[in-house]
Amino acid sequence: MTSTELLRYAGWAAYLSAGATIISFVTGFLFFSKGQPFGTMNDTASVFQVLFMVPVALVLHRLFGPNAQMLSLLAAAVGIVGMLVAAAVQALLVLGRLTFEQTVRPAFTAGGSIAIWLLLTGYLALTSSILPGGLGWLGLLAGAGYVLMVIGFWLGEQKHPLFIIGSFAVLVAYPIWAIWLGRLLVSGRLA
């Protein structure tokens, strides 16, 4: 696979992650207001939301690595571990191998790892000329949203104000970030 093909693949993965994020939030809201089958739909969309983040994390490490090798590697490693844990836990929930209660601790810990990845890549975008500064700020906002979601959930689950504020920040910032990044990657302008 050429460098341009890899970037385009990651760009499409970013688009799909953005779409899965929106589906996950909509079905999550519907689950808490209407019940099943929206919970299963939410959990399934969550699996794809984070799996599609993995190629994005790999490509961002490739882009940022020459200028900030250790920080870029840390961001990618922490993020990918969180993405894979979140995907595995959600998949086991969908398959009925774990209960919701069994998934809470690992899923929200994984969400914290994804938050760290977004915060570090946002910082790397702001301190390099590789990506537009606005993309860095959106990454920071999405990462902060994940942090608030995790803290809010631990303090009072889905009804806690921090969870609600964080969810809204992620719902707005992450899809815009992923679509903008996807567009840059697919265009080939970063090759």
Backbone angles phi, psi at 176, to 5 degrees: -65, -45
Q: Cis omega (within 30 of 0) on the bond before 161? A: no
Average pLDDT on 152-177 reads 90
pLDDT digits (tens, 9 = 90+) for 12-47: 999 999 999 999 989 988 988 888 898 899 899 999
**To the nearest 10°, the Cα dihedral for 173, 177, 180, 183?**
-140
Cα distance between residue 170 and residue 146, in whole Å: 6
pLDDT digits (tens, 9 = 90+) for 113-164: 999 999 999 999 999 888 999 999 999 999 999 999 989 988 887 789 998 8
pLDDT digits (tens, 9 = 90+) for 10-21: 999 999 999 999
**What pTM was computed for the model?**
0.91
Please tell me the predicted confidence (pLDDT) of residue 177: 97
